[in-house]
Amino acid sequence: MFTWPENAPANMNYPVSASEGARPVRQMSASKEATSRVRAVRTFKKADKSSQSLIERLPSEILIKILSYLDASALFSISHVNKLFYKLANDNALWNKIYIAEFGKKKKQKSKCMDELLLKMATVEVQDHAAGYWKWLFFKTVAACDMNKWKRHLGLISRHTGLPSHTEQVLRNLKVTWELTVSDKSGHEGTLELSWSRFCETSVSLCWSGGRWLPNYQQISTLQLHGVRRIGLSCPGLKPGWRSLMAKLDMQTLTKSVQIIGQDKLVELKLLQPGIVVGTWRDKCSVAFIMFTLHFHRLVERSIQGSSVCPYVEPMVKSPFDDIDPEYGLHGYQLHIVLHDTVCKLMSASFSKLFCCRTQICDGFIQLTAISRTNLSQHAPLSGSITLPWRCEALQGAVENCCIMSLTLLDEFRKPFWCVSSPVSMELDKTSMSYDYDGEHFLIHYLDSDGQVKIKLVWMEEQQQFVVISLVIYVRVSNVNKHFGRDY
């Protein structure tokens, strides 16, 4: 239906219909305007296509010559234009020139191994390798130089934790991040970028939420966690780097043993396995967020030294055999434990000279008592309430009676023996009684294939705080025998 045009001239002729009255004739002008727009678009597309084909019709030698004036960032970026430029931008001669220009001028600062590497490569014809070899070698060398720069920081070991003191600093300086790939049962796959991360002394908590593609909880098939190391190139819209597979989880297997560790009005926390929690909306089956908690032990190596399909393999370290000490492998342990949430630290403590007599080995576990219930001087108060705050896009909340436990157990040679970082839940312990405390008793019980942890707490009503009155670590005897070469 036409409407009267604004400021219509008085002498304009309008056709009149007996039923609808007078209406302006604008169909012809509208049709002409649309036709002209279509022609303009077609002309632009033809010009763009002709210019593109003109560039592609140039001999490859000329295109290679043009590309030879680009630096590494520009060359990497142009390789994503189309198949032709991807092929040309992988030319070994181009990247060999960039490699020599970048690392040849730093000869005085290079290490001996770098000099030997350059000498070896100089004796090989550049084009003898497959296309892209020198591009790969350039990125590999850049990564190695950065790693050597920060590697010495990993050798600074904390006397309290037995772990590298600067793990967080090294991860940040190496531009390490983490990505989560989610697959559903129909075969669709989506990769989520990190929503937020939280470092806390000996662990880091990672959370993914609000992704564009995130299936319902029942539809998730697999979860893959990759450590991603970015290379410091200026490539707008592109993020060059390597991926290291850290975990691949089959949801069909995990859902058989999933634990509900807590809930609030909005979400329910499902513990898939130690360190991995999925928060689902209570009124739906959709996923609110997925959270991983990673221990610092070899975290740098696991995040950058694996491949996209194969995780980093931790080297086997066995203690020297001792046939003189009858209690070898049962003493000299050191424990560092941190209770925290996604915001603050609740408790951090170290315990040394932990031991277990051979007569105390029971049910396949050795028992290491860090805090004794009968020794009041060892009891430790917490600095906050036991809750696990979460946030997802515009929503946030806190699940009560949940927190994160990060545990590091060192052997008598101060080497990591058992390392754990995982959300845990606290339950009311009605069976416990104490003549020293009047408040309610609670229990945190953690269990996995390597051992278990039991933490007993009391709620002090007057002080409005929790106090840890017992902390006992149970280590599987089979792990002790394997590590120390014993037969307990």
If you average pLDDT over each of 12-16, 227-231, 417-421, which comes out highest? Answer: 417-421
pLDDT digits (tens, 9 = 90+) for 467-487: 999 999 999 999 999 999 999
Look at residue 328 and give its three-state secondary structure.
coil
Q: How confident is the model at residue 53 (pLDDT cuts 50, 70, 90)?
A: low
State the average pLDDT over residues 312-319. 86
Residue 21, pLDDT score: 39
Confidence check: pLDDT of 15 > 70: no
Q: How confident is the model at residue 3 (pLDDT cuts 50, 70, 90)?
A: very low
Q: How far apart are CA 339 and CA 276, in angstroms?
A: 17
Tokens of 360: 């105390």
pLDDT digits (tens, 9 = 90+) for 444-462: 999 999 999 999 999 998 8
SS (H, E, C) 414-434: CCEEEEEEEEEEEEECCCCCC
Q: 273-282, 317-326, 460-469 — which is least confidently predicted?
A: 317-326
State the average pLDDT over residues 92-101. 85
State the average pLDDT over residues 146-155. 82
State the average pLDDT over residues 186-201. 91
Residue 348, pLDDT score: 96
Tokens of 275: 């360190």
Neighbours of 208 (CB within 10 A): 24
Confidence check: pLDDT of 130 > 90: no
Fold of 60-154: Monooxygenase (1.20.1280)
Residue 480, pLDDT score: 95
**Bridge partners for 339 per DSSP:** 347, 405
Confidence check: pLDDT of 162 > 70: yes
Residue 4, pLDDT score: 35
Q: Which amino acid appears at position 399 of this protein?
A: V
Residue 1, pLDDT score: 38
State the average pLDDT over residues 190-218. 88
Residue 127, pLDDT score: 56
pLDDT digits (tens, 9 = 90+) for 59-89: 888 888 888 888 888 888 888 888 888 888 8
Going by C-alpha positions, the residue among 462, 426, 423 that lies closest to residue 442 is 426
449 or 19, higher pLDDT = 449
Confidence check: pLDDT of 317 > 90: no
Confidence check: pLDDT of 123 > 90: no
Nearby residues of 242 by Cβ (< 8 Å), 6 or more positions away: 139, 143, 228, 229, 304, 308
CA 301 to chain centre: 13
Confidence check: pLDDT of 47 > 50: no
Q: 107-121, 208-222, 321-335 — which is least confidently predicted?
A: 107-121
Residue 124, pLDDT score: 52
Helix axes 133-154, 112-122, angle to 10 degrees: 170
Helix axes 92-103, 133-154, angle to 10 degrees: 30
pLDDT digits (tens, 9 = 90+) for 425-435: 999 998 877 77
Residue 44, pLDDT score: 39
pTM across the whole model:
0.80
Q: How far apart are CA 126 and CA 124, in angstroms?
A: 6
Confidence check: pLDDT of 13 > 60: no
pLDDT digits (tens, 9 = 90+) for 27-43: 444 444 544 543 443 44
Q: Is 135 exposed, middle or buried (0-12, 13-18, 19+ CB in 10 A)?
A: buried
Q: How confident is the model at residue 223 (pLDDT cuts 50, 70, 90)?
A: very high
State the average pLDDT over residues 178-186. 93
- Identify whether the C-beta of residue 215 lies closer than 8 Å to the C-beta of residue 284: no
State the average pLDDT over residues 401-414. 96
Confidence check: pLDDT of 125 > 70: no
Q: Is 47 exposed, middle or buried (0-12, 13-18, 19+ CB in 10 A)?
A: exposed
Residue 40, pLDDT score: 44
Confidence check: pLDDT of 16 > 60: no
Q: 21-35, 181-195, 314-328, 348-362 — which is least confidently predicted?
A: 21-35
Q: What is the mean pLDDT of the chain?
A: 83
Q: Which run of H or E residues covers position 84?
A: helix 83-88
pLDDT > 70 fraction of the chain, expressed in percent and rounded: 83
Residue 45, pLDDT score: 44
Domain ranges of the chain: 60-154, 167-304, 333-484
